Amino acid sequence: MMVAEIETNQFSLFPVASLDEINKMRKDLSKFKKMKKTKEDLEKHHNMEVLLKSDVYTRLSSMVDRIERAFNLIIAEDVRAIIVYRFLEGHDRYETICKFDLCERSIDRKIFEGIESIANTFKLWEVIQ
């Protein structure tokens, strides 16, 4: 009896983001702190009924909520901690390297893993195609 072999790069239960999609997610994450502060400011100083009719607010709010949800789906706690510090709190790469007791390459790898996880989640949700 022959069993068909499936190469791992041909079949995946979950969709996998491309390098371009991961790079776009890195840019979006780099803007996250500003997006969240803008959203909070709009909510504080404007009527919510008016905001809910605004395309800009709707897109901004949706993106912030999706990033936060996708962030919560990162399984590795060390990766999640680094992503929180780097993107959600808005620290730069140098500050991130100084904060965590890891070499630069390890920090960069964990940052990439976190960004990749969020991009893959967005791909699963069909936010990116």
Quick check: 1 pLDDT over 60?
Answer: no
Quick check: 3 pLDDT over 80?
Answer: no
Of the pLDDT bands very low, low, confident and very high (cuts 50, 70, 90), residue 126 is confident
Q: What is the pTM (predicted TM-score) of this model?
A: 0.85
Quick check: 8 pLDDT over 70?
Answer: no
Q: What span, in angstroms and rounded, lies between the C-alpha atoms of 96 and 7? A: 37
Residues of the chain by 3-state class (helix, strand, coil), percent to 5: 70, 0, 30
Q: What span, in angstroms and rounded, lies between the C-alpha atoms of 110 and 122? A: 18
CB-based contact 122:68 (threshold 8 Å): no
Of the pLDDT bands very low, low, confident and very high (cuts 50, 70, 90), residue 14 is confident
